Amino acid sequence: MHGLATARGLAAGPVFVYRGDGDIPIPEYIVEEGCVDAERARLDSSIAAIRVDLEKMIETLRERTGRKDLRVFECHLMILEDAFLIDEIEKRISANRLNAEAAVRKVFAMHRAQFEKMNDAYFRERARDLDDVERRLLKSLTGYSNKAHLELKAPSIVVADDLTPSETVQLPREFVLGFATNGGSTTSHVALLARALAIPAVTGLGDITSRATAGETVLLDGSAGTVTLHPDAATEEAFRTAMARQAGATAARSGSRPAGTLKDGGEIKIFANVHPGIPLAGFREKGARGIGLYRSEYLWLNSGYEPTEDEQFAAYSDAARFCTQLGDAATITIRVLDIGGDKAMRGTTAKEANPFLGNRSIRYLLSHREVFRRQLRAILRASVEGNVRIMYPMVSCIEELVEAEKMLDAARTDLSHEGVAFAQNIPVGAMIEVPSAALCARELARHVDFFSIGTNDLVQYTMAADRGNDAVANLYQPLNRAVVRLVAMSVDAAKEKGIPVSVCGESAADPVAGVFWGALGVDTLSMSATYIPVISRILACLTRKDLDEYAKVPESLPPDSTGAQIYAACRAWLFARLPPEVCEIAATLKS
Ligand code: PEP
Ligand code: MG
């Protein structure tokens, strides 16, 4: 089967079909006359069981986090205790003789519709709470298991329709050999996680869940974007030989020069992107010279709740301490909570008609100032442990930077009054991932100490092509002229102001696009550690003069060249300058 080459590498193993927490099949039938009481009793015992579960969960969370504010779950308990709602469900069982599941579904749907009609965001959000409680009730009544991830007990290729970031992080990592999904794309968050975890992945396969059989061996090539079902013995043997060869070829960086050193001694620094929760060990061996993107939102997504200031402080301090092992001058760029869009979190982010254009990232933080305040305090406190930088995601206008700066100042003042130590002059940067930010990069540069270009989102917003939708993957073109111009504008603005600029989107790890950003003048490329050795090897074959020439390739093409043609011409130019063994490895990478 052919899909999208999403995370490089080869994997072979048995299929584990992950059905996840998807749709719960709901039976609907008329209950026998004599069984109505039993049906009501079934409902009551489900409600009682869920209440016990919720109380237990609140207790555990309170112990783990020390937080008294567990309103979301308390609100769920209140819904379960709402006499009016329960009464309506019971009436449908008694009067209409509807089975409990169908009665629950109908009554919740009615209530949800009422909440959703309201203008007030608070009430609309309550509709999500109803969703949660309804799912709990339906799972309990139908006996549906939501512990799908626990069923993965042996090393397997995980086959799924699609995976949310939280589902992905829940899977026991030691048992995931590879991912193969019906939907998704190369820059969806599952894709980024797969890369961060160095797990080969193929997405956009369409219908692999109905074609692969649980337990049968499949061969997955994350570089070619293929999955082979029912391989014969000879094919499997050849594949396993290739696996062994590739593991050796890219295990460590080549030579003793720092990662990103050019042939003439110049450099484009190579940093690592980090998801909290994924071990940092091994980054130094791969050659990372710092942490260019610490995706703090995974502290939220991994646990399903907001970490306390102390929990955040512990995580940021650990990462900052680890970073100092990468070199005295190594910096760690902690990106503040980039939640919303495809990183939605139940109970935290509201349901929006257009989440990608909604109240996400820096916008969310500026409208939830307590969350922002706690995070800034935690980062400042951790700043004594290493060279910490703070980065704001999804900046779209100057006001956001000005407001964020005020919040940071207030956090500094509070900590000073409390006598808590923090590093002075922490560099503060903006991500350039929205076209408006790139277009006003010159003005934004006056307010920050660095830029980091998030090409995953910049391509998506520039081309109006959802980064997670394989149906528009053809429009998701990192080297489309529009994207190239926006990146060039951002780099030029940074140079003019004399501030550093990096690329931390996945295209940094694409040999063709990543090297091109370096050619445009980007100082640092930040990527999943697993890609560092290969990009390093490619850069070691090129001089700054080569890169200057490379930067001119798109301009030299006819004006109506497509994004795909520009990419192909750049690839041809670059590969013609690499020795064959480096070409072979470079061909296994593509973002
Ligand atoms: C990006 O948009 O390029 C980026 C690095 O942020 P994320 O992928 O986490 O949205
Ligand atoms: Mg982004």
457: Cβ below 6 Å to ligand 1? yes
| Domain layout of the chain by residue ranges | 4-19+152-231, 33-142, 249-589
Which range scores top for mean pLDDT: 20-34, 54-68, 544-558? 544-558
From the CB of residue 63, how many other CB atoms can be counted at a distance below 10 Å? 9
From the CB of residue 533, how many other CB atoms can be counted at a distance below 10 Å? 21
Pocket test for ligand 1, best of 188, 295, 343 (most atoms within 8 A of CB): 295
More confident of the two residues 218 and 211: 218
Q: Architecture of 249-589 per CATH? A: Alpha-Beta Barrel (3.20)
Which range scores top for mean pLDDT: 499-513, 527-541, 573-587? 499-513
463: Cβ below 6 Å to ligand 1? no
pLDDT for the residue 145: 56
CA of 198 from ligand 1 middle (Å) equals: 18
Own/partner pairs for 436-442, CB < 8 Å, 24+ apart?
436/396, 436/397, 437/395, 437/396, 437/397, 437/490, 438/486, 438/487, 438/489, 438/490, 439/486, 439/489, 440/397, 440/398, 441/489, 441/490, 441/492, 441/493, 441/494, 442/489, 442/493, 442/496, 442/497
pLDDT for the residue 563: 93
338: Cβ below 6 Å to ligand 1? yes
Q: 4-19+152-231 domain in CATH 3.30.365.10?
A: no
Euclidean distance between the first and final Cα of the chain, in Å?
A: 19
> What does the alpha-carbon distance between residue 61 and residue 49 come to, in Å, rounded to a whole number?
18
Atom number in ligand 1 closest to CA 452: 5
CA of 344 from ligand 1 middle (Å) equals: 14
Residue with the two structure tokens 């500026």: 366
pLDDT for the residue 197: 76
CA of 543 from ligand 1 middle (Å) equals: 29
Please choose, from the candidates 333, 351, 438, 428, the residue with its C-alpha nearest in 3D space to the C-alpha of residue 394.
438
Residue having the nearest C-alpha atom to atom 3 of ligand 1: 454
Atom number in ligand 1 closest to CA 460: 2
Task: Provide the pLDDT confidence category of residue 513 given band limits of 50, 70 and 90.
Answer: very high
Q: Which CATH number fits domain 33-142: 1.10.274.10, 3.40.50.2300, 1.10.10.10, 3.90.550.10?
A: 1.10.274.10
Please choose, from the candidates 305, 323, 330, 17, the residue with its C-alpha nearest in 3D space to the C-alpha of residue 159.
17
Can 76 be counted among the known catalytic residues? no
Can 35 be counted among the known catalytic residues? no
Mean pLDDT of 535-556: 96
The ligand minimizing its distance to the Cα of 453 is 1
Task: Provide the pLDDT confidence category of residue 253 given band limits of 50, 70 and 90.
Answer: very low
299-338 residues labelled b (16+ CB within 10 A) or e (exposed): bbbbbebbbebebbbbbbbebbebbeebeeebbbbbbbbb
Percent of the chain past pLDDT 90, that is, above it, reads 58
pLDDT score of 188 more than 90: no
504: Cβ below 6 Å to ligand 1? yes
Atom number in ligand 1 closest to CA 456: 3
Which range scores top for mean pLDDT: 17-31, 297-311, 487-501? 487-501
> What does the alpha-carbon distance between residue 322 and residue 325 come to, in Å, rounded to a whole number?
6
More confident of the two residues 365 and 169: 365
Per the CB < 8 A criterion, the answer to whether 226 and 202 are in contact is yes
Residue 398: CA atoms inside 13 Å, Cβ hemisphere, count?
A: 9
pLDDT for the residue 389: 98
Atom number in ligand 1 closest to CA 341: 10
454: Cβ below 6 Å to ligand 1? yes
pLDDT for the residue 416: 98
The ligand minimizing its distance to the Cα of 343 is 1
Structure tokens at 123: 């009430």
Residue with the two structure tokens 């995931």: 176
4-24 pLDDT tens trace: 888 888 999 999 998 766 667
Pocket test for ligand 1, best of 451, 456, 458 (most atoms within 8 A of CB): 456
Interhelix angle 481-497/563-575, rounded to 10 degrees, is 70
Task: Provide the pLDDT confidence category of residue 155 given band limits of 50, 70 and 90.
Answer: confident
Instruction: Tell how strand 201-203 and strand 4-7 pair up.
Output: antiparallel
pLDDT score of 518 more than 90: yes
Cα 63 to its chain centre, rounded Å, is 28
Atom number in ligand 1 closest to CA 189: 8
449-470 pLDDT tens trace: 999 999 999 999 999 999 888 7
Mean pLDDT of 91-95: 93
Weakest-pLDDT range from 32-41, 309-318, 436-445, 494-503: 32-41
pLDDT score of 397 more than 60: yes
Per the CB < 8 A criterion, the answer to whether 128 and 351 are in contact is yes
Atom number in ligand 1 closest to CA 506: 3
Is the backbone of residue 151 left (phi > 0), alpha (psi -120 to 50) or beta?
A: alpha
Catalytic residue among 76, 111, 189, 275: 189
Burial of residue 457 (CB within 10 Å: 0-12, 13-18, 19+) is: buried
pLDDT score of 479 more than 70: yes
CA of 454 from ligand 1 middle (Å) equals: 5
Going across the sheet that includes 201-203, the strands are: 4-7, 201-203, 176-181, 156-160, 10-18, 217-221, 226-228
Per the CB < 8 A criterion, the answer to whether 201 and 193 are in contact is no
From the CB of residue 177, how many other CB atoms can be counted at a distance below 10 Å? 21
198: helix, strand or coil: coil
User: For 267, which DSSP code?
Assistant: B
Pocket test for ligand 1, best of 6, 190, 433 (most atoms within 8 A of CB): 433
456: Cβ below 6 Å to ligand 1? yes
Instruction: Tell how strand 226-228 and strand 269-274 pair up.
Output: unpaired
Catalytic residue among 111, 275, 440, 504: 504
Residue having the nearest C-alpha atom to atom 4 of ligand 1: 454
396: Cβ below 6 Å to ligand 1? no
pLDDT for the residue 301: 85
